Structure 1
Amino acid sequence: MNFHDVEFVLSVHSDKQLPLEELPEIAFAGRSNVGKSSLMNKLIGRKDMVKVSSRPGKTQGLNYFLVDGIMHLVDLPGYGFARVSKDMQNAWQGLITRYLENRKSLKCVVVILDIRHAPKAQDTQLMTWLSQKNIPYLPVYTKIDKISGNERTKNAKLLDAGHGLTPKTRILFSAKTGQGRDELISALKTFL
């Protein structure tokens, strides 16, 4: 994974639009505004390939990106608070659930959590559900540059305890500084 050649492929809004399962896929999931798009941009070394917005609910489909012609990164709509109708949120939920349960080319779900916030029930539910469905996932704590080192350590321990994780099973990441990027790439390679 060199991320030399990354291109947006399509935005999927229904099961019929999903591409053929010819390439491995890594999906990115997280609550609205946890830094999912910023993490993906830093990962692929681009500033604005994945659209970043301060408005929750900006990602409204499964956005596919082709990487080096060998794999897809899939940006999922955020969950939790979003300024969209309940009907739209329910439609996303159904599409995302079917995608996660049935996609044979899905190799890992990167679950993104903001290190500044206490453990959230929705994140726990997602990781528990992924475990029960035998879907590999990788927790990543983002926005580590926004708090001090002591706070970072304390908050990471709280998230670890709240979600039943250990430092070996998750990654600390900063989209601003790039800290954690190499570890994330290395971990993703193991899933591929």
Structure 2
Amino acid sequence: MEINTAEFTLSAPRESMCPKDNRIEYAFIGRSNVGKSSLINMLCGKKKLAKTSAMPGKTLLINHFIINREWYLVDLPGYGYAKRSKTEKARLEQMISGYILQRKQLACVFVLVDVRHEPQQIDLEFINWLGASGIPFAIVFTKADKLSAGKVAGNVEAYKAKLTETWEELPPIFITSSETRVGKEELLGYIDSVNKSLKDA
């Protein structure tokens, strides 16, 4: 699939204020500073579609982008940013969970994980919550250009091994780099296949 048009639609503080049409949505989420905005920009072929920042935790709303005038890419706030107040953390958690649990158009949540690190408890807890809630999701490893191919493969296998402790079947897994565009075709191909299966249903 080629992305020909990608346009910002709106930012919403809660699910009820998201777009009212029934276009399919794909949400991207991860720990703060995982490279989410860079990945979104790489997928869409636009350098400044999603705002990138050296300071973690800049995304504070549910951001919708209309892709090819057919489906929405949704940029969700990151989780696990320590420098937020308890009130702010609670608000963000409520916003994220409200969107994920209530949004009927949501086809898949892409959970972004920095491939350079060992499995983090906060990521595993979020993944397990998605599974327990019956939400379709996939894992997207980011920043693959920062390590050798062998190290990337080893870290991904370690992550899979950790997941198989609690999961009988693993979700789809993608390895990406915003710098080298690794994984772009695979990720967009997966979205395309889900779009087609939902249209045929």
1:15-63 CA-to-partner distances (Å, cap 9, x unmatched) read 4422214210000010001111111111111111111111111001011
Identify the residue that residue 35 of structure 2 maps to in structure 1. 35
Identify the residue that residue 18 of structure 1 maps to in structure 2. 18
**Using the alignment, how far apart are the partners of 2:131 and 2:62 within structure 1?**
21
Q: 1:18 to 1:85 in 2, by over 3 A?
A: same
Identify the residue that residue 109 of structure 2 maps to in structure 1. 109
Verify the 8 A CA contact 2:14 2:99 in the aligned structure 1.
no
Query: Identical aligned pairs, as a percentage?
Result: 38
Q: 1:172 aligns with which of 170, 175, 183?
A: 175
Instruction: Please give the residue correspondences for 1:1-192 in structure 2 after superposition, counting only pairs within 5 Å.
Output: 1-164=1-164, 169-192=172-195
Q: What are structure 2's unaligned runs of at least 5 residues? A: 196-201
Verify the 8 A CA contact 2:137 2:171 in the aligned structure 1.
no
C-alpha RMSD over aligned residues: 1.7
Verify the 8 A CA contact 1:119 1:163 in the aligned structure 2.
no
Verify the 8 A CA contact 2:138 2:171 in the aligned structure 1.
no
Verify the 8 A CA contact 2:29 2:76 in the aligned structure 1.
yes
**Using the alignment, how far apart are the partners of 2:193 and 2:125 within structure 1?**
25
Shift of 1:155: 1.1
Q: How many residues align?
A: 192
Q: TM-score, normalized by length of structure 2? A: 0.90
Q: 1:97 to 1:21 in 2, by over 3 A?
A: farther
Verify the 8 A CA contact 2:14 2:98 in the aligned structure 1.
no
Q: 1:170 to 1:40 in 2, by over 3 A?
A: same
Q: 1:64 to 1:168 in 2, by over 3 A?
A: closer
